[in-house]
Amino acid sequence: MKDLIKAKAKGLNESLVKFSRRIADCNSTGTTSEFTKLISEEMKSLNFDKVTNDKSGNLIGVIKGYENKDALVVISHLDILSPQEQRTEACLKSGVVKYKGGIVSSVYSGALVKRTLLPLTGDLIVCCIPRHECCDSGIKYLFENYLKPKLKKIRGVILCEPTDFNIHLGHKGRMEYEIIVKGRLNRNFLENKSMNMLGAMFPLISELEKASKQLPSDSNLGYSNLRIKDVRYSGYHPEDELNEFRVVVDRVFIPEENLSGILDKAKTIAKNVYKGELDITINTALAREKVKTYTGLELVSEKEFKPWVMESHHPFALESLKSLVDNGFKSSFGYWKKIITEGSYTCAELNIPTIGFGAGLEDTIDSDTESLSMDKLERAVYGQALIIQRNIGVPTFGWSSDEI
């Protein structure tokens, strides 16, 4: 069977190279519709059984199974970046990776499975999701609408993100929250400190930094992290009751922590700093932002990506890894260190088994200098097809491809 997949993969190479070039040339800051049009046309020409898109701008291509049992969802994303976020460094810091290789491997692994005519026990659903920075509205919309009736049949989700041909099983969570301190500080507190608004914030900032040194860690994912992203204040005089200040915190966290716990803790820290102050209210809240998709849909999104970890002995993870190792890949299980993925939704929220697979390293992937070589992409397509075949393919035990 691997011979058959390999042989058919060769037949696809030429168009894969062409498609990769076209997609690299396409500027992601341009109109997204142009981008999705390119992908949807490619899917159609590769004989996907169904190509459609939803109101949120998600692009969906389906390879029909010969039965209607387990479905598999393959997800790649395309980044929608505002012009000020163009600098790569900034992107990486915020967990965004502009990884076009994922789009190519998701579309072409689907095409490869189709080309072999190997029957699937259920549908293969390839989804390209436009992703605004720190916004998972696209994936949510997809699962709440198009995929909703199929939810029970989904055996797993494969995220096409850089893993250097390993199987990744999760990453830390990331959230942005604000500590809002509102009201009047009394003279006692201010005597020892600076007199202006900024000065009044320093004790809180310093306590937060202290707290950042004592964060928990996870054996697979590493340490949590706390970074002060921004401070804002209104007015000049902390003794004026109409004024307020906010500390915006970028928080990386692990599965043992949770949203309300983190916010409570932040509140406690602030309360301790300003204890004895009577005319003050302290609040903490998750940051939100409004998002408008290129299709015109307006959504409000909370800036939270949940951490997630798949059990390494879960059959979906195990079989996927074995499908690679059995066929010559030197893969192992791993976890992303920096980037955030749709797994925060599919695995952490929906409890759907989720894994990541793709070519390239998460640190060096950068769409400005497309560092993925073509043979790496081809290998990713081959590996992805093996994973798909192993999980929802009808196995061909006993029959060899050397015709009998």
Q: Which residues bind another protein (CB under 8 A)?
A: 1-4, 7, 11, 66, 116-119, 319, 322-323, 326, 390, 393-404
Q: How far is the CB of 315 from another protein (least distance, A)?
A: 9
Of 10 and 265, which CB lies nearer to another protein in the complex structure? 10
C-alpha 9/C-alpha 385 separation (Å) is: 9
Of 63 and 372, which CB lies nearer to another protein in the complex structure? 63
Judge whether 16 and 378 are in contact, CB under 8 Å. yes
C-alpha 349/C-alpha 364 separation (Å) is: 29
What are all long-range contacts of 278-281, with beta carbons under 8 Å and residues at least 24 apart?
278/186, 279/183, 279/184, 279/185, 279/186, 279/241, 280/181, 280/182, 280/183, 280/184, 280/185, 281/181, 281/182, 281/183
Q: How far is the CB of 122 from another protein (least distance, A)?
A: 13
DSSP structure class, residue 21: H
C-alpha 185/C-alpha 260 separation (Å) is: 27
Of 117 and 278, which CB lies nearer to another protein in the complex structure? 117
| CA of residue 158 relative to chain centroid, distance | 11
Of 104 and 118, which CB lies nearer to another protein in the complex structure? 118
Q: How far is the CB of 121 from another protein (least distance, A)?
A: 9
Q: How far is the CB of 53 from another protein (least distance, A)?
A: 28
Q: How far is the CB of 333 from another protein (least distance, A)?
A: 15
Of 234 and 401, which CB lies nearer to another protein in the complex structure? 401
Of 118 and 135, which CB lies nearer to another protein in the complex structure? 118
Q: How far is the CB of 84 from another protein (least distance, A)?
A: 49
The amino acid occupying position 403 is E
Judge whether 137 and 219 are in contact, CB under 8 Å. no
Q: How far is the CB of 11 from another protein (least distance, A)?
A: 7
**Cβ-based neighbours of 84, under 8 Å, separated by 6 or more:** none
Of 3 and 279, which CB lies nearer to another protein in the complex structure? 3
For residue 60, list its beta bridge partners: 52, 127
